[in-house]
Chain A
Amino acid sequence: MKRRTFVATLGGGSALGLAGCLTQEGGSDDGTLTVVTYESMLDGENPAGPWLKDAFEDEHSDAELEWELLPDQGINHYIERADRDVGIDADVYLGLNIDDLVSVDDNLEDGGLFQSLESDRLERADRVRDGLEMGDPHDRVLPYDTGYISLVYDESEVDEPETFEALTEPEYEDALLAQNAQSSDPGQAFLLWTIDAFGEDGYLDYWRDLDDNGVRILEDWTESYYGAYMEEERPMVVSYSTDQVFASAEGNDLTRHQIAFPNGQGYANPEGMAIFDDATSIDLAYDFFEFVLSNDAQAEIAQRNVQFPAVEDEYVDLDEEFDQYAHVPPEAVTVGYDDLRGNLDGWVDDWAREFAGQ
């Protein structure tokens, strides 16, 4: 306890010392950058958050990075705050995806909550790989990593499904575990993937076939993975293409952790960062974005967060083990911002009504 108080006092002191300096530069920066992010960035095993804080503060000796835990309601918390004119104290949101952006624009004024980024202030923005842009017409978000939704299966029980259609065949009867798209991120991503594959008019038919073939839709990734899949209820689960990184670290048998990319695809779920409209430490926020896209930060985020870097290969060195166990799909698909706008809620609702309470 004492140690923490001491560190806090020290941090506060240096922040105060700096405040005058930064105000002279024109902004109202007080030397503290408040960044909102999700739990696993801060609290899992070996999370990336603490490393980012230390490394960023080392590089900017006059700045302090303060983490704020994303409340349970996620982006909705900030949408509601903005809607009711209750101020937002944070400067940066780390962990924004396309669905969040659509949610913001469907519920607030178009282009709301976050400010448009001035791209000439970001030298390293060019490093971001093609295919990760989120299609935001207001340029509010910059990707920093990406994950791919894929299937994880037990090769001793089933063969790798080559296509989506294969999943409706007798060979895969009662084999697949998916998640509820209403309450789960990978669940929603998998639903969007089938919409990408079968179209807005065909996806419900495909899901009816899946239902006839015995697909099981559980609440969340945790329940479906730790509950059902790891207890060997079923041989296949919708999960992430980085599954083997964890499985090998846990010493699990990799036969139960094979990655399948039906149709040769994986569903990309890029994560981005954005600056709140109300932010005060804007200069520092740009510094932070530059730092996050640097070689070291990209490698640490990727490995600690077990996601793929957002930048081209030449800008990042990953451990061999990560390269070996984290699989990239031959083709990455994503339903873009324009298609999601105004459609997402309806798609998920129609899908859920098909299964529930009948």
Chain B
Amino acid sequence: MSLLDRVPVDRTRVGTWLERYALQVTALVTAAVLVVMLYVPVGVVFVNAVVEDGVPTLEHVAAVLTDPFYFGALADVFADPLVIRTHLGSLAAWLGAVSISVSLEYPIPGVSLPVPWPGVEMPDVRTGLFGFTAYQAALSTAASVALGLPAAYVLANYEFYGRRTLRSLTILPFVLPGIMVAVGFYAMFGRAGTLNTLLGLVGIGPFAFIEAAPLAVVILAHAFYNAPLVARLTVAAWESVDVRTVETARSLGASKRRAFRDVVVPQLVPAVLTGALLTFIFTFMTFPIVLALGGLQLATVEVWIYDRIQRLDVVEAATLAILETILSLGLTYAYLRYESAQAGFSQAASRPAREALFPDLRTACSPRRLAIVGYGLVALVLFVGPMASLVVGSVTDGSGLTLRNYAFLLERQLEGASFQTLPLPAIRNSLLFGVATLAVAVPMGVVLSVLTVRAGRSGTVIDTLAMLPLAVSGVVFGIGLLQGLVFGVSLPGGWRLQITGAVAIVVAHAVAAYPFVTRNVSPLLANLDPAMVESARALGASRLRALLDIELPLVAHGIVAGAAFAFAISIGEFSSTVILASGSESYTMPVAVERYLGRRSGPAIAMATVLLVVTAASFVVIDRVGGRGDP
């Protein structure tokens, strides 16, 4: 549709006013929502750390920074930062003690295949809780990128039966409650789990995967959550690569590989880095997964924050949370600086054609196709395995097949009392909140993108602040919502600001979700040629009109990708929902899963399966409707 068809339409004065100021109004509403739902609750908690009896203090921060339990060897540096020579001396001594050796090892049990194994001997260094948390987050990020990129490559470049459905379903791991992922992982990778049963068929094993390498399994579980995130972000970027730029490079004599490296890769890097950044932040703040699979030995900072909150030591919890937030926001800022420094690529909706995955038998045996098959097997074990094990667990018990768990859900639905948790309202609430979250988060995210994209350095700062929901500890956000909104904030004149129930849940979900819209849309928007908007404005279009008719259609992929995330986050969100829904009928599917967990896990696993099925169906629908332009 051309610009001229759209612009000259009769409008009322209100309409004109609205159109002129719509962006500003939306921005104000967005700011108000952020203040009420994010800055106030988080501020209420953070103040505890830096204010004592009304007087600002850094005492608590200093106490944490200099505690070797939290910062290990760094604590000495924080305690006495000026004796640089001493610190350098101990660093040198440590480096001097590092030795590297190569030995022959037999890494595969039962197979006598000698492999030269590099051994690095490092003297123990005390990393402290923060050090360990960062270490496992870095490993988890590397694993998520390594497992996510091949998926993105296959989904963006090959055509095969069920590709679009598979692409829709990559979001599924995202919505599973942590506890169900743990149960699924044990059912898949446990000593008596599905994988060992399969290996047993060919006479290998059983292996105690989880017992032997808990850290590796925790990292895989983090990849289970986050590799799909990396894949989804990268696919969206890959699909918006303008194929003509590749063709130009080729026609100028670049080899296929060279064209890929010089033209395609630079356009994917921001998406991959966004995925890596989000993964690092998420896994830095991981809580239930590390304890459920790894145990207390692999505890993270967030575990400690939760414990401090449980023991009503809000001061230390807030101090830890502030340090955590500074770290994540610092990373975010650094990334955003990098992103805005990237040269712009003009992009058009002319995306590369997809090859058939298995056109004929000969091609199917090429190394590349075989590598894809190999990756498919890994993905099957890691992603499908735990979810399939859950589904199987819902229809079996100690003595074989049973439908008892589903009978429980049905009976609860038909005969449950009003104070009990019913399955259908949970499904209905989840879907309603999901759709409502879309309606709130997508405009919020887009407006923030528009406002920050062309604002230069100050835009980066605003953008960083807008990422705060991701950088704040979930536990602290929950307690802030409780203290700030559920209990209420006293206002002058005897008023009390209290927000609970469905509206509060939707807004909380939207606050958690809009950064994904922003992160999906901003890089695309930044790469658009500003001249297009300027021409439209010169022709008399309002800023809103230019946005709706010129910019948004060109960044539609990003919006759909962001919207899918927003929906998924709303469906899967647990910690703030459970706080805002307590005592009301606004519970969602993940909340129902937790409530059905008792001395028998069957009903909860059945509910988790319902959650998977409903979400899978919604995603196929969303991607079909939202991705209409997708061939």
Contacts and interface: CB of A to CB of B under 8 A. Distances in A.
B487 A357 contact: no
Nearest to A216: B295
Interface in B83-119: none
Indicate the size class of the contact surface on chain A: 35 or more
A231 B190 CA distance: 6
Contact of B599 (A40, A42, A71, A357): A40
Contacts of B70: 357
A41 B192 CA distance: 32
Interface in A221-266: 222-223, 226-228, 231-234, 246-247, 250-253
A120 interface: no
A356 B306 CA distance: 14
A246 B295 contact: no
Contacts of A345: 311, 313
A356 B297 contact: yes
17 contacts: A8-B418, A43-B595, A44-B599, A84-B483, A183-B291, A218-B291, A219-B288, A222-B183, A223-B293, A227-B182, A227-B186, A228-B210, A250-B398, A356-B296, A357-B129, A357-B299, A358-B126
Contact of B296 (A76, A251, A252, A355): A355
B392 interface: no
Contacts, number: 173
A226 B292 CA distance: 11
B399 A45 contact: no
A333 interface: no
B419 A233 contact: no
B291 A219 contact: yes
B397 A250 contact: yes
A332 to B, nearest CB: 21
A316 B304 CA distance: 44
A182 B303 contact: yes
Contacts of B193: 231
A352 B297 CA distance: 9
A99 to B, nearest CB: 11
Contacts of B126: 358
A67 B291 CA distance: 32
B127 interface: yes
A4 B288 CA distance: 36
B578 to A, nearest CB: 5
Contacts of B582: 69, 71-72
B216 interface: no
A231 B600 contact: no
A45 B408 contact: yes
Interface in B464-507: 479, 482-483, 487-488
A103 B211 contact: no
Nearest to B184: A227
A249 B304 CA distance: 38
Contacts of B210: 228, 233
B579 interface: yes
A265 B472 CA distance: 44
Given A72-B582, A76-B310, A86-B487, A44 B598 contact: yes
B245 interface: no
A50 B418 CA distance: 10
A12 B603 CA distance: 32
Contacts of A183: 291, 303, 306-307, 310
Interface string A347-358: 011001101111
A80 B291 contact: no
A39 interface: yes
A270 interface: no
B597 to A, nearest CB: 6
B185 to A, nearest CB: 8
A183 B475 CA distance: 13
A246 B599 contact: yes
Contacts of A251: 397-399
A266 B272 CA distance: 54
Contact of A68 (B310, B313, B583): B583
A45 B602 CA distance: 10
Interface string B572-604: 000000110011000000000001111111010
A231 B297 contact: no
Contacts of B309: 76
Contact of B488 (A79, A80, A86, A219): A86
Contact of A231 (B191, B288, B418, B595): B191
A107 interface: yes
Interface in B172-216: 179, 182-183, 185-187, 190-193, 208, 210-211
Contact of A232 (B131, B133, B185, B190): B190
B355 to A, nearest CB: 41
B128 interface: yes
Contact of A39 (B299, B311, B598): B598
Residue among B183, B479, B488 with the most chain A CB within 10 A? B183
Contacts of A234: 211
Interface in A194-227: 216-220, 222-223, 226-227
A207 to B, nearest CB: 11
Interface string B438-458: 000000000000000000000
